[in-house]
Structure 1
Amino acid sequence: MFTDLMFAFENNLMIFYAVVALFSLLIGSFLNVVIYRLPKIMEQGWYKECREFLADELPKTKENKSDTKETAITLSKPNSTCPNCGHLIRFYENIPVISWLFLKGKCSQCKNKISVRYPIIELTTAFLGTIIAVNYGVTSTALFIILLTYALICLTMIDFDHMLLPDQITLPFLWLGLLVNINGAIVPLQDAVIGAVAGYMSLYCVFWLFKLITGKEGMGYGDFKLVALFGAWIGWQLLPLLILMASAVGAVIGISLMVFKNHQREQAIPFGPYLAIAGWITMIWGNNIWGWYLSTLV
């Protein structure tokens, strides 16, 4: 059955693109849940570990006892509600993009505004998934890169909101990149392994050099792991392009924030979103961009 489906898609690519776009649109709605809840799940876990570690040190107060009984958050529970009035969001109020437009961007009960970011993430997920489908066709490689794209959207938004790149997303996709390349689907396995090591060590060395010179930490360990992830997918050869593009975009946006938004120079800016965007572009068009860049140097 799966073979027949693949054959049907190969003979009608427009249907394939439409299915990928629709499926990605639905996944985009789920990504909104992951982006919002995963940091809260992690925070709950940290508090629980701290309480367990400091159990003998904390005073036995009513506040501490009540903290231990807080409702656990998962990606599926509790059900989605309006953060303002607590209205339980019905299934027909949670249809990607359509529900937001039908409700005019407001809660059906309290009329509190619903951020436009939710439909934007859903549409972005559909758009990027379709680009992958167009570039890689009806292949298993396309499927894997689409899954990676979903993960990168989550990482980008979580880092933007919390300056955090969760290992729960980064590490599994690092290992998946090595598995995808075990038969050289994107790059030879040797290049993928070297890419993962080189990706991590490149920023790790920059981190310690910067810390030794300034006494400050210029980036987080999550950034090292994210570059290692891309190294596992695209190999070591394109890592210079990735870091160059991410640094250039980060510098432009950072300077713009300081000039136009009164952003303090000492205030940290997440680097993960720039790495994720540059890495995704490098994966799709990296060889063409790198070839053009090298030709300009000749």
Structure 2
Amino acid sequence: MELFVYYPWLFPLFATILGLIVGSFLNVVIYRLPRIMERDWHAECYDCFPDQMTAPPQETFNLSYPASTCPQCDSKIKFYDNIPVISWLLLRGKCRQCSNPISVRYPLIELLTGAMALTIALYLPASYWSYAVIGFSFVLVALTFIDFDTQLLPDQLTLPLMWAGIATALLGWAPHSLQDAVVGAMAGYLSLWSVYWLFKLITKKEGMGYGDFKLLAALGAWLGWQMLPMVILLSSVLGAVFGIIQLRLAGQDNQTPFSFGPYLAIAGWIAILWGDNITHWYFTSILGF
């Protein structure tokens, strides 16, 4: 940490490179984690009903194995073809072996994580808290794209994220107290849980998934309970605007379910960096306090 004090430019550079590298790994997480969950569910169902289901696949499949391959020609991706952003540009977005197009989303996610880490490093001084916020951002990126793809928010990510937020307060890294973090986690979960059951009692329909409750609990742990109203309001506005645009582009009506987790994640990331400034601006400029 002292090195970053003597050379202030080093922290943004280190954070950006780390963000690009982690972004490459997050592409694997986003693709594989939902499939790992499906395999686990299949195995659990087979254990309970072996006579009514096919046996689950036995080959190893996790975040590190098997090695990444081209979905078209099944050739293994070499390490020099897996350099964040650069490899995609050098290959012109195509597989080296069969010229099958490689989705532009892969380098865009790497650029996104790099830009988010750079923004944090420029806005927050080098400290345990800024390092933690960078890690927090990486998990939000993974949750966002998994939810967009599958409408799932895996417990494997949301629950560790919540406990990590409480841990930062316990260790004294966070700008809020441990009590605020614990109350934030409780209030975050219970607020959406209450809305869920109220909506279900009135309409007999489910308005959101339990993953959203756990994600807001995690955000409450990282931000403290004081930031939850702003997160809920901002995510609701973002969800209403961009969710409707998303449905219209997909040719679907307003009754079609859409992912709310990404908008919670965006609101939480904005709040952890600029929440105090937004709150101050609101009370002074809008309310006149």
TM bracket (short chain) = over 0.9
8 Å contact kept, 2:244–2:254 = no
Q: Aligned partner of 1:52: which letter? A: D
Matched residues in 1 for 2:56 and 2:140: separation?
33
Structural mapping, 1:132-171, within 5 Å: 132-171=120-159
CA offset at residue 85 of structure 1?
1.2
Query: How far apart, CA to CA, are the structure 1 residues paired with 2:57 and 2:148?
Result: 30
Structure 1 residue 280: Cα displacement: 0.5
Range 129-138 or range 226-235, more displaced: 129-138
Quick one: which of 6, 11, 31 aligns to 1:11?
Answer: 6
Give the residue type in structure 2 aligned to 1:74: N
Q: Does 1:232 align with 2:226?
A: no
- The aligned length equals 286
CA distance in 2, matches of 1:184, 1:26: 25
Which digits, 9 at most, give the CA deviation of each residue in 1:57-104, with x for residues without a partner? 337xxxx3xx43432211110010001111111111111000000000
The 5-angstrom pairing of residues 1-298 of structure 1 reads: 6-55=1-50, 57-58=51-52, 64=54, 67-182=55-170, 183=172, 185-295=174-284, 296-298=286-288
Q: CA RMSD of the aligned region, Å? A: 1.3
SS in 1 for 2:158: helix
- Deviation readout 1:19-63 (Å, 9 max, x if unpaired): 1111111111011111111111111100000000112x337xxxx
After superposition, give the CA deviation of every residue in 1:222-256 in whole Å (9 maximum; x if it has no partner).
00010110111111111000000000011011232
Residue 260 (structure 1) shift: 4.8
The answer to whether the Cα contact below 8 Å between 1:25 and 1:96 also exists between their aligned partners in 2 is yes
CA distance in 1: counterparts of 2:247 and 2:31, whole angstroms: 27
In 2, Cα distance between equivalents of 1:267 and 1:259: 10
Per the TM alignment, residue 259 of structure 1 is displaced from its structure 2 partner at its CA by 4.4
The percent of aligned pairs where both chains have the same amino acid is: 51
Shift of 1:130: 1.2
TM-score where L is the length of structure 2: 0.95
- Cα pair 2:39 2:56 within 8 Å, conserved: no
Alignment partners' CA distance in 1, 2:57 and 2:10? 50
The 4+ residue runs of structure 1 with deviation greater than 3 A are 67-70, 257-261
Q: Which runs of 5+ in 2 are unaligned?
A: none
Please tell me whether the aligned partners of residues 171 and 229 of structure 1 are also in contact (alpha carbons under 8 angstroms).
Answer: yes
**AA aligned opposite 1:90:** K
Structure 1 alignment gaps of length 5 or more = 1-5
